[in-house]
Structure formats: C-alpha cells, structure tokens
Structure 1
C-alpha cells in the first residue's frame, strides 16, 4: 500500500467533517462564548458610533461661527451625557467620546486653544469636521461584521459587546471520546510495574481538545485486546468523534485498524508524514474514529496538522489551515526523505533552529520548541535557505 500524502489526507478528513451530521445550534451568554463558533452571521443592530462624537478632549463649535475670534463656552459635555443644542455663536467644552451637540460640526483639541475670561481663543485655523467621529463611521446598522463560522476570541467578543449583544447563537461543542490504547500505560500518580510508562498523551490531548473548544469524554485506557477494543468503541454512543492514541501500527497487539476493518470502515491508513506515519481514520458503527500514533511527538504532530483542522471544520470553521511563515534555516538537511517531515524547532535570531533529538517518543523537545519546521519530500537544505515554520502558539490556540 502506498503512503497517502499529507495534503490528500487532510482534504479527505475535511470532506468527512463536511459530510458529518450538522451540529445543533445553541444560544450562550457572551461571557461563555470564548472559543465558540458562530452559527449565524453577526449583524449590526445600530450605527456605530450611534451619534457624532468627539475624538478629542477640546471644544466643539459650529465651523461657520469661527472667524478667528474667541467664542464663549455655553456648556460642558462629558461622555455619557446628552447635550443641549449648541447656542449660536458659542462653543462647548467636550471630552473624548462625548456626543456632539446639535449645531456643532467641528472640534478643536484643548492643546490648541487659550482660555481667558470664559472665552476660547483658537490659535490656528480650523478644518471643517476635524476631530469628529461621524455617526456610522465604523459600521452601519444591518452590516455583517462577523460571518457564520467565525470563531469568537477576545477581539470578536469585544466587538459583539460594542454592538449590544448579550447572547450569541453558536454551534454546540463537538463531543470527543478520548481513548488511550496500550497495556503499558499507567496514569500519573500510580506506581509503575516493569515495562509500563505514564500516559502523557491523555493529558496532552485533553487540554488541547478543550482549547480547541471540544467537549471531552474520557473513555480511559483501552487494553490490547480486540474484544475490549470493540466494547469500548461501542460504548461511545453520542460522540461526534472517537479519538484514540496508540494501537494503530502493524504490531500483533495493535487492534484498532483490525476492528475498523472487521466491524466498521477504514478510510485512511499510513500517511507520508514523519513522525506520524501509522495514523488511522475510519468509522465504527457510524461514528468517525481517528487513531493517532502513540509516540508523543507523533501524537503532537498528527493532532496539530490533521485532527485539529478536522475538528475546527466540524465546528463550522472554514479557514482551518495553520498559518505558516518562511524563515531562514539555521541548520542543514543533507539527506532527502520520502515523507513530509515536521521537526521540533524554535526561532533564534530570525532563524529556525531544530532540536538535536527528533525522536518520536520524546516530548522534551516539544517543550523546548516554539514551533515546527516543515521539510518537504525529496528536499535537502543548506543553512540559510528558506523553510516553512508554524508556531506552536498558532497550533495550540
């Protein structure tokens, strides 16, 4: 069987996500909408600003009343106050964000005036409309400011609040059953027997899934037994995805692929990626199953580049590709490979430096790194040549 290229695997996963049963909509308070995905367009219910206001602390006046002569101050307007109409031939003391009084069309900042005997002296020429934010200057009522499928973050939540939204319509969270596979796994805090290791992938993925915005169902550790594998998979009724780690290679105790072949559908297996080649994808009794390799670095890379985009698309996000930048390589890569490689790296002095230990079983290198460098199939590198780099902050958000 030939290995599946990374781009093809991703496109097939995204197609699976698009074909999934649509998630239900739900209304949530604004304070609970961080990381959620809008299920409908966010429209502007009112002009913003809702009325002309001052962009400066200063004095508001009718430009036609300014003839190089001083004007008396007829009122003082603070932000949040409703002003009186401006008396002809006067100006108003005004503060940033305060509404312009009817009749005023210009503001002069306080630094450019002199105040004597209750009159304001304008020391330089005034431009009509200067320092005035017009009604609807930012957005007009009825405009779309965020499209359905937008993921809400601090800026988007602030925008929604500025428009008066207290609640938002979003897609419900994707329900993910998280399974770890392997008799060798032990949860942290318990004693290790000979041949056993602590289960790091569970903590890695549980935190990451929650950051993505999923509802996580902990399905525990799946032993190396085909019947128990079937039983645990069958118990995940109501989940949108079963995400497992381990048990996807070709060893005699790797049963996930076998069970999917026998009682479900196997749609993806063996990718042209390093680390992460044994990734497996299919369905068990209609529920999508994504089996990530058990080695921690392989888990990290395949979740970041394949599982995370799948989940985001399932949530309704359209632009799911992580943003990559080109940087000079601070290393050489003399031997080309047949698989797409992702190396744990960090940026130093504008160059990508790779960790000396790229073993798929090591997480320490990922903790050292601040991103991944992509090495394309068949490519060699000389130090200084450009490589693509994706920040872990981009992938973990």
Structure 2
C-alpha cells in the first residue's frame, strides 16, 4: 500500500538521486559513435592537415616571384607540372615556374603560395599574373586545423556527426563510450493484449509497451520488454531475473491498492521501497525501489500517468547512467485561459504552447485520455501551493522537445 505520508516531488528527486549509478564503458568503431557519450579524452594523434596543402584550385608559386606583378607589368610563369588531390610532386619549383594544383593537394617543394585559377590567364604553357600574392596565400598549413598532442574533445561529450568527423581527422578509428543502459521493462496486467480489432470482453490493448520502448530509446538506452500476468510467483521470478540482468527495471501497473496490485509488495520483499506515493497529479502511485543496488521504477498502468512519471522521475536518471546530467528547461508562458491545479500537489498539465505568441492553453480532457499526448506539445508545471492560474497569468512550462537529448 502507499506509504503513510505522500512524498513531495522534491523529496522524491532527492531520494532517487542518492543512488550510485553503475556506469559501464565499451570500445566501439567510430562509425557507430553518433549520439553516444564519449568516455575518454580525444588527444590529437596527427597534425591536420598533415602537410601544407592547397586551399584552392589554382597554381602553386613562389610568392616573392610575383611580388611586383601588376596590370602594367604582368609576370609570366611557365607551368611545369599538374598535380591532383592525393598526388605528390617531386619537382622543386624555381623562380619563373608554377605548378597547376588541385584543392587539397600537397604543396610542391619550393612553393609557398597559391594563385586561384580565376585570377590568371593561361597562354601557351604559361600563366599571366597581374597582381602579387603574399606567402601562404590560399595555403592550408600543416597542423592549422588540429595540432598533434592537442586536447580537442573532453569526455562526457554527446557525439554528433561533426564530432565524429573531427575525431576521425585526429587519427581515431575506435573510441571508448559509455554503454547504453539496458532497461528491463515488466508490464503487468491480465487485461492487456496485443493490438487487435477483435477484443474479448474485459481486455484492452497494451499501448504502454510501445510508448515505453520509444521513450527509453529517446533516453539513449535499450528497452527489453516483457508482459507478465498478475500472478505473484511469475512476477517474483520476472523481477528477480530483471534486476540481475539489467541496469535498471521499469514496471507498469500494480502500484495502487486495488485487488491484484502486487508489484510494490514484491519489490519491498526483495529489497527496499523508499518511495510509494507522491503528491503529483497525475501519477500519484509512483514507486521507487532498490534490489541488489538495481533501481526499480514502478509506474502506473494508465498511459498518461506512465508518460508523466517517466518524464518527471525516470528519464533524467537513465541519462545519468551515461554521465549525462540534464536539468529541466522550464520557460515562462502566459496562460491563455484559467488553469485549474490542486494546491496540495505538483500538477503536470498537458498543454499546447504557441511559440509565436508565448501563450499556452491547457488540453481539456479527462486524466486518462491517451490522445491528449498528441494534442499537446508541453506540460504546464504548477508546483505545490500554486493553485488556480488565472488567464493572462504567468506559468512555467516544460516543452516535450526539450526532454530529448538527440
């Protein structure tokens, strides 16, 4: 049953945050690193570029050789060779010479500048130059981008495509990252069945299965989902196996006080349940337990409450297992109409926020209406003691898209 006194949300956060998370690492191929969390520092292994190279299609020259070129006194240089990207010339350029060069090609020995192809005239094996260039003009210098030994990316960085590009340039083919947490999900309820248009009396579709898989993947973790009937022996076995196998366990259903709600008692028998019952609306039956140092998040059966409980209490702690410390990004909005909230609870109200006006409108549906998720794009957060929010009054909102990492 519920603990004697409902915990407030802040105290619930504090209890969950005290748990030491077991963060594991693994070595992966760089090409699999997108959206992973780096578990090492990236120290550049090679100079980038590894040699002086042309930054333009044009002609490699000696800058001093064309220092006095002008419209009235043009300088003519003989083109002695042509090199493409990936090719290397063994020719040492002398005064009076130029080598046609492609972008990215290594600068020929003796040259120190590139003149863009558009800035010269080619006539009978020679180029006509009518303006001077400085040394290193249109030349990418060795180590200009990345210098060997430079610390370029620190650990705990969430990697995106451009991070991977820089890491590859720095000389890495493999990187160490934090393992994706493996999350065991136990969905309870004799009434739950797979999607179908032919439901027998008393049965409902198990929609939580699909939502939980998605939100866990949004948290950069891996979901392992099973459904279990409301049978004490089966549930005990499922919980014992899950806490031994996975980094965290999430259950749905069986957290209230109605007949057949078993999960909280099972977790308490196997470990410890410091949280059961929180002054939050919706989601009051939320429970949290620990078995063999494995966290067990016990969510309601109603999909709307499950979504709120996951977003408020679970999501950030799965991210924390990967060294991602994320805080809620509340923003201030203007209430588009009167908003009811219970003053003795932490109210999480589905709503639709208009970015162009800064006005937010609560979604007027019953608490258990699942489609309210589709009709909304944010939560209005009315903490304990807030009570009614009047039209045109200020309120805090939490946009759904700010909850995600990638």
TM-score (norm 1): 0.84
> Which residue of 2 is the match for residue 282 of structure 1?
289
What are the Cα deviations for residues 39-78 of structure 1, in whole angstroms up to 9, with x where unaligned?
3223221122222222222233222222212333233232
> 1:204 offset after TM fit, Å?
1.3
With 121-130 and 289-298 compared, the bigger mean Cα shift is at 121-130
Q: Secondary structure at the match of 1:235?
A: helix
- Matched length: 390
* Cα distance change on mapping 1:100 and 1:288 into 2, 3 Å: same
> Which residue of 2 is the match for residue 46 of structure 1?
46
For the aligned residue pairs, the C-alpha RMSD in angstroms reads 3.1
1:193 to 200, 206, 212: 200
> Which residue of 2 is the match for residue 55 of structure 1?
55
> Which residue of 1 is the match for residue 133 of structure 2?
126
Counterpart CA distance in 2 for 1:106 and 1:193 is 80
* Cα distance change on mapping 1:100 and 1:152 into 2, 3 Å: same
> Which residue of 2 is the match for residue 261 of structure 1?
268
> Which residue of 2 is the match for residue 33 of structure 1?
33
Q: Superposition pairs for residues 165-314 of structure 1, below 5 Å? A: 165-189=172-196, 191-223=198-230, 225-236=231-242, 237-314=244-321
* Cα distance change on mapping 1:96 and 1:170 into 2, 3 Å: same
Conserved in 2, the CA contact under 8 Å of 1:222 and 1:232?
Answer: no
Conserved in 2, the CA contact under 8 Å of 1:372 and 1:392?
Answer: no
* Cα distance change on mapping 1:382 and 1:77 into 2, 3 Å: farther
With 235-244 and 145-154 compared, the bigger mean Cα shift is at 145-154
Conserved in 1, the CA contact under 8 Å of 2:219 and 2:404?
Answer: no
Conserved in 1, the CA contact under 8 Å of 2:382 and 2:395?
Answer: no
Counterpart CA distance in 1 for 2:381 and 2:77 is 67
> Which residue of 1 is the match for residue 22 of structure 2?
21
> 1:174 offset after TM fit, Å?
1.9
Conserved in 1, the CA contact under 8 Å of 2:228 and 2:235?
Answer: no
> 1:199 offset after TM fit, Å?
0.7
Counterpart CA distance in 1 for 2:180 and 2:200 is 38
> 1:313 offset after TM fit, Å?
1.4
What are the Cα deviations for residues 123-163 of structure 1, in whole angstroms up to 9, with x where unaligned?
44534433222222222222333333333333333333333
Which runs of 5 or more structure 2 residues have no equivalent in the other structure?
70-74
Conserved in 1, the CA contact under 8 Å of 2:218 and 2:404?
Answer: no
Conserved in 1, the CA contact under 8 Å of 2:6 and 2:276?
Answer: no
What are the Cα deviations for residues 69-125 of structure 1, in whole angstroms up to 9, with x where unaligned?
233323323222223354122333222222222333333333333333333334445
> 1:191 offset after TM fit, Å?
4.1
What are the Cα deviations for residues 250-290 of structure 1, in whole angstroms up to 9, with x where unaligned?
43443322333333211333344443333211113443201
Q: Superposition pairs for residues 342-357 of structure 1, below 5 Å? A: 342-345=349-352, 347=354, 349=356, 351=358, 353-354=360-361, 356-357=363-364
> Which residue of 1 is the match for residue 89 of structure 2?
83
> 1:244 offset after TM fit, Å?
1.1
Conserved in 1, the CA contact under 8 Å of 2:352 and 2:363?
Answer: no
Counterpart CA distance in 2 for 1:242 and 1:98 is 55
What are the Cα deviations for residues 19-41 of structure 1, in whole angstroms up to 9, with x where unaligned?
13342x33222333334333322
Q: Secondary structure at the match of 2:311?
A: helix
* Structure possessing the higher radius of gyration over alpha carbons: 2
Counterpart CA distance in 2 for 1:275 and 1:295 is 10
Counterpart CA distance in 2 for 1:381 and 1:142 is 59
> 1:202 offset after TM fit, Å?
0.8
Q: Secondary structure at the match of 1:289?
A: strand
Q: Superposition pairs for residues 354-393 of structure 1, below 5 Å? A: 354=361, 356-357=363-364, 359-377=366-384, 378=386, 380=389, 382-383=391-392, 387-392=396-401
Q: Secondary structure at the match of 2:80?
A: strand
Counterpart CA distance in 2 for 1:306 and 1:83 is 63
With 247-256 and 171-180 compared, the bigger mean Cα shift is at 247-256
Conserved in 2, the CA contact under 8 Å of 1:328 and 1:383?
Answer: no
Conserved in 2, the CA contact under 8 Å of 1:343 and 1:358?
Answer: no
In the alignment, does 2:321 pair up with 1:318? no
Counterpart CA distance in 2 for 1:358 and 1:113 is 72
Counterpart CA distance in 2 for 1:91 and 1:63 is 11
Which runs of 5 or more structure 1 residues have no equivalent in the other structure?
none
With 38-47 and 237-246 compared, the bigger mean Cα shift is at 38-47
Counterpart CA distance in 2 for 1:375 and 1:111 is 64
